[in-house]
Structure 1
Amino acid sequence: MLFKKILITCMLCLLTAGTVDSADIQPIKIGGLFAESGKVAFVGTASRLVAEMTLKEINDNGGILGRPVKMVVYDTESDPNVALRMARELVEKDDVLAIIGPTSTGSGMAIKKYTEEQGIPTIMTVGGDPVIAGGKFGPYTWTFKVPQRSSVAVRKIYQYLQSKGVSSVALLTATDGFGQDGLRHLKSLAGEYGMTVTAEETMDPQAMDFSAQAFKLSMAQPQAVIIWTIGPAGAVATKNFSNLPGEKPLLVQCHGQPGPKFLELAGQAAEGVVMPGTKIMAPGYLADDDPQKPVILKFIDDYTAQGYDKEFPLNTHSGYAFDAITLLKAGLEKAGTPERAALRDSLEQLQGVVGVSGVFSLTPEDHNGLGTDSMMVLEVKDGAYRPAE
């Protein structure tokens, strides 16, 4: 009888202990900054959905370090000032461990000085280089980003043009931060690949006609014209060039453009246009031994199963939030503790982390970790993307 009482007591203690431990598990709290309204909401809203989808799967499989992950999300409204205000909320009110986002280069630069000073690991989903460029752009000790650097995309373009015997290019670049970042690299890297820049024009990414710029650039008779912007402006410019009389230069879009929307807006004018993009844009062409192939195919299955593709068709931006959280998870597991400094140190040592956008290998000098081999040059043919020949 005594043994039975002792056994029952021990079982109750074990059950009680299990309940207490479970109740005491605090979630790892992270922040999410996504442009869910304003001019880049088409990227930001989809990124938030992908981030939530990715975290749900992680939590369904035991979380990270045995703890669930909770994301506190704010809409940056596509406004750098709002992005900074929301970053302060995440740090000073919500006490997050790390931040995923924001969506645009301008917002990334707006928050960077603050997050660096506060020591917050921030994995951005922005296209431009300045957030991790150092020098006049400020330190990036705590700042990381998942989309390929603009400089990497420029190198991919120039490598392709060089292989096609192209040696003269004209540039049409947006007046925003992303466009000017692209212009900087397009000019500085041209000589390395034997390219001569014959003419330059700028474009307001919110405008709806660039016929004048197209005419001026075509008069310089370049072999190719590189258009550096995201959103509808790229398709508008493509149509403007298509409407010019006579022989036309090869049109090249930037790495932020590949997606169904460009094909829809540019229509027949898109035929023959080339652009660098992530492998998600042509998964059917990936080799079976490509380490990204299973990751990309599963991501596409999960994305479409959620029905996100109906409102936000898959495009080159679609996997950025997935990649950011994948790096966060790998960094925390390597650190072994949900502590900011330990996470930061681990992030810049990650090697061979397979994501949708590439295989990430970071260093203290390179807080992106992707090279030109993470991209493919795409060509529009018969209204679809395929690897350029």
Structure 2
Amino acid sequence: MIRVLCASLLALALAVPSAFAEDTIKLGALFDLSGRAAFIGTPTKLVAEMVVEKINSEGGINGRMIELVIADTEADPAKTASIVKKFIYKDNVVAIIGPTLTDTGMNVKKVVDEGKTPIFMTVGGDPVIMGGKFGPYTWVFKSPQRSSIAVERLFIYLKEKGLTKVALLSAADGFGKDGSHWMDELAPKYGIEIIARESFGTRDTDMTAQLTKVKNSNPQALIAWTIGPAGSIIAKNKVQLGIDLPLFQCHGLPDPKYVELAGSASEGDRMPATKLMVAAELADSDPQKAVIQEFIRLYKEKGYDKQFPINTHSGYAWDAIMMVADAIKTAGTDKQALRDAIEATKGYVGISGIYTITPEDHNGLGVDSMVMVQVKNGVFTMAE
């Protein structure tokens, strides 16, 4: 009887689908699910689950299923570092996806370097993939465009329009400071002069004082560099003050939520964005169009668009996981080999651009990956 029972249990164990076997490929996934950027982190988590489901439904990676180990950073840099340590030393993940914010991303660079584990971040700021005083980035990659690329795309547009004297309002966090740095660095190249600047807190609810100060410098245009509700507040305050100047936002704000919060004050505002925001306007010859359309189809089939309308952030986790999966297909799960394979990514056609990563550039996107968009009749269209 005992022998029969043991044989039955053995047969049952052998019949367990590989998706639930121990031989899964574990990826850590940490996003801001309850902190100040939960409006970005939560849908990013849903996309991460969506792309993993797609990969697994198509046979996984070389027959092995992906298992996501998900955690909430709560926008807390210290907690983020603790989570990453758990991922590496307890959960034995082969790679990590996330986090959401530049500040939390910066706090884990040293951890992944010491733990020799590749991380593909979904943060906006450049310091996470910059060395020197910013710390090592050997094991760090990121899928959103570099701030420097977004600034360059914006400056090209401003120069084309003859708007060379600008005033800058930037958030006092890591992302805002990064944008401000690159504007100072790149302004001379494009003949742009920043004639006034003000900063603000990401949770500030009124920017009339800063807007009044920069208005008095007589700029030709205003640039705001922040993510979240602060950008919409600037748009509304500008209209309330009767400031008749074009407003340009950063690449983190092309989002229906921006229009919802700013209302009619957002009309005409322009900003650099991923092509995802204007998918219907892309030429059929654009190699990204089919990929973006497939992403949109799956996203809507899941019903995610009802609570989280597609925005410029939507494809970041998709691209990060897809590139990690492609690297695992060729290099396996040895972390050093996997890191090297990610760094060798060439011509990956993603949602946010066509990626070619190099040892010097752990992002791999150029200015041509971005378009300028504007709010027209309450929706985003290609900027005129």
Q: Give the TM-score normalised by structure 2.
A: 0.94
The corresponding residue for 1:203 is 200
Q: CA deviation at 1:194?
A: 0.2
Letter in 1 for 2:369: S
State the AA in 2 paired with 1:251: L
Q: 1-side partners of 2:63 and 2:227: how far apart?
A: 40
Look up the SS of the partner of 1:245 in the other structure: coil
Q: 1:24 and 1:199, CA in 2 relative to 1: closer, same or farther beyond 3 A?
A: closer
Cα drift, residue 158 of structure 1: 0.1
SS at match of 2:381: strand
- Is the 1:360–1:369 Cα contact (8 Å) retained in structure 2? yes
How far apart are 1:24 and its partner, in Å? 6.8
Counterpart position of 1:347 = 342
Residue 177 of structure 2 corresponds to residue 192 of structure 1? no
1:92 maps onto 2:100 in alignment? no
Structure 1 residues 20 and 321, CA gap change in structure 2 (3 angstroms): closer
Q: Deviations over 1:113-161 (max 9, x none)?
A: 1111111000000000000011210111100000000000000000000
Matched AA of 2:52? L
Letter in 2 for 1:342: A
Residue 345 of structure 1: SS of its match in structure 2? Answer: helix
How many pairs align? 373
Secondary structure at the aligned position of 2:108 is classed as helix
- Any gaps of 5 or more consecutive residues in structure 2? 1-10
Aligned pairs for 1:225-304 (under 5 A) are 225-245=222-242, 248-304=244-300
Deviation, structure 1 residue 338? 1.3
Rounded to whole Å, the distance in 2 between the matches of 1:272 and 1:19 is 59
The partner residue of 1:370 within 362, 365, 376 is: 365
Residue 282 of structure 1 aligns to a residue in which SS? helix
Is the contact made by 1:25 and 1:67 (CA closer than 8 Å) also made in structure 2?
Answer: no
* Equivalent in 138, 150, 154 of residue 157 of structure 1: 154
How far the C-alpha of 1:289 sits from its partner, in A, is 1.0
Deviations 1:226-266 (A, max 9, x none): 100000100000111112236x2211000000111100111
Counterpart Cα distance in 2 of 1:135 and 1:356: 30
Structure 1 residue corresponding to 2:323, chosen from 322, 327, 333: 327
Cα deviation, residue 287, structure 1? 0.6
Partner of 2:46: 49
Whether the aligned pair in 2 keeps the contact of 1:287 and 1:293 (CA below 8 Å) is yes
* 1:55-92 CA distance string (max 9 Å, x none): 01100111012211111111111111111111111111
The CA distance in 2 between the partners of 1:231 and 1:266, in whole Å, is 11
Measured in 2, the distance between the counterparts of 1:227 and 1:191 equals: 19
Q: Is this contact kept in 2: 1:252–1:275, CA < 8 A?
A: yes
Q: Whole-Å Cα distance in 1 between the matches of residues 160 and 21 of structure 2?
A: 60
Aligned-partner Cα distance in 1 for 2:288–2:131: 30
The DSSP-based 3-state class of the residue aligned with 2:28 is strand
Alpha-carbon separation, structure 1, partners of 2:102 and 2:292:
25
Q: CA deviation at 1:334?
A: 2.6
Q: CA deviation at 1:314?
A: 0.8
Query: In structure 2, how many angstroms separate the alpha carbons of the residues matched to 1:110 and 1:29?
Result: 22
Compared CA separation, residues 162 and 62, structure 1 to 2 (3 A): same
Letter in 2 for 1:353: Y
Per-residue deviation at 1:19? 5.7
Task: Check whether the contact 1:323–1:356 (CA below 8 A) recurs between aligned residues.
Answer: yes
Give, in whole Å, the separation in 1 of the partners of 2:65 and 2:299. 22
Task: Work out whether 1:76 is the aligned partner of 2:94.
Answer: no
Any idea what the Cα deviations from partners look like across 1:16-58, whole Å, max 9, x if unmatched? 9x86996977001110111110111111111111101100110
Instruction: Give RMSD over aligned pairs.
Output: 1.7
- Amino acid of the structure 2 residue aligned with 1:354: V
Aligned to 2:333: 338
Runs of 4+ in 1 over 4 A off after TM superposition: 18-25
- Looking at structure 2, the residues matched to 252 and 213 of structure 1 have their Cα atoms a distance apart, in angstroms, of 16
User: 1:92 is matched by which residue type in structure 2?
Assistant: Y
Query: Residues 351 and 52 of structure 1: is their aligned pair in 2 closer, same or farther, counting only changes over 3 Å?
Result: same
> Which residue in the other structure is 2:104 paired with?
107
**Highest CA radius of gyration, 1 or 2?**
1
Question: What's the TM-score once normalised by structure 1's chain length?
Answer: 0.93
Taking the aligned partners of 2:100 and 2:17, their CA distance within structure 1 comes to: 37
Match of 2:314 in 1: 318
Distance verdict in 2 for CA 1:216–1:119, change over 3 Å: same
The 5 Å alignment of 1:128-139 reads 128-139=125-136
Secondary structure of the equivalent of 1:205?
coil
Distance 1:29 1:239 in 2: 45
